């Protein structure tokens, strides 16, 4: 059997399973969505957002890109973020990186891979910001681990620096911003940091709103 056909067959079995438990499962699901969480994760096939968090369809609004980055000129993530914050009114935004991330690893090298290097350039900036700490780590694997964590941390701060998040913090005291790392070897998520609404930001990035 061709590999893609396996997916379509598995879909049929999945539908049957769901209907077994609740005959109206899909009808209820199709009505609307009101997820409480926005998940920003890596595109890596080994970090499926719903599986690792034990969540069901309808619970996570998801954006994934290479190395779970929040880029201020990327209309894709900005649109996802605005919709999640302004329309869905999510309570929590989770940036989830993972140890062993190929995108982060590439940023530690000088290898040229074409367009992807433009995207990963942002992680080189994270390296530069934390260069003193990272260059002080002699063991290569440990340094790689640490850059994965620092990348998550930086992306969480970048979220806080967006006008969408700052506006929602001021007006509605949400969302909470979380930075997590997934360990491919154990399956566990590590909770790195949380920014609560109103966390002081570097003044350079603050916006003043008229409404």
Binding site for Co ion (CB under 5 A): 42, 44, 101
Closest approach of Co ion to the CB of residue 67, in Å: 5
> Which CB atom, from 44 or from 149, has the smaller least distance to Co ion?
44
The reply to whether 146 belongs to the active site is: no
Q: Which is nearer to Co ion, 42 or 168 (CB)?
A: 42
31, 44, 72, 96: the active-site residue: 44
Tell me whether residue 101 is one of the annotated catalytic residues: yes
Smallest distance from Co ion to CB 126, Å: 14
Active site residue 96: no
CB of 180 to Co ion, least distance (A): 13
Q: How far is the CB of 195 from Co ion (least distance, A)?
A: 22
The active-site residue out of 46, 72, 86, 191 is 46
Which residues lie across from 193 on neighbouring strands? 179
Q: Which is nearer to Co ion, 85 or 181 (CB)?
A: 181
* Catalytic site positions: 42, 44, 46, 98, 101
């Amino acid at each position: 059997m061709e590999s893609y056909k396996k997916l379509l067959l598995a879909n049929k079995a999945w539908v049957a399973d769901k209907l077994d438990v609740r005959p109206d499962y899909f009808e209820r699901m199709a009505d609307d969505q009101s997820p409480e969480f926005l998940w920003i994760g890596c595109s890596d096939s080994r970090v499926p957002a719903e599986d690792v968090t034990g969540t069901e369809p309808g619970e996570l609004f998801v954006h994934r890109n290479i190395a779970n980055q929040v880029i201020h000129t990327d209309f894709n993530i900005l649109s996802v973020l605005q919709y999640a914050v302004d329309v869905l009114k999510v309570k929590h935004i989770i940036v989830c990186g993972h140890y062993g991330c190929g995108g982060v690893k590439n940023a530690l090298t000088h290898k040229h891979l074409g367009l992807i290097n433009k995207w990963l350039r942002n992680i080189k900036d994270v390296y530069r910001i934390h260069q003193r700490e990272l260059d002080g780590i002699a063991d290569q694997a440990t340094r790689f681990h640490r850059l994965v964590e620092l990348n998550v941390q930086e992306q969480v701060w970048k979220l806080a620096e967006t006008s969408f998040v700052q506006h929602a913090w001021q007006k509605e005291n949400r969302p909470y911003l979380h930075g997590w790392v997934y360990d491919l070897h154990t399956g566990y998520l590590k909770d790195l940091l949380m920014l609560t609404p109103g966390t002081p930001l570097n003044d350079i990035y603050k916006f003043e709103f008229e409404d």
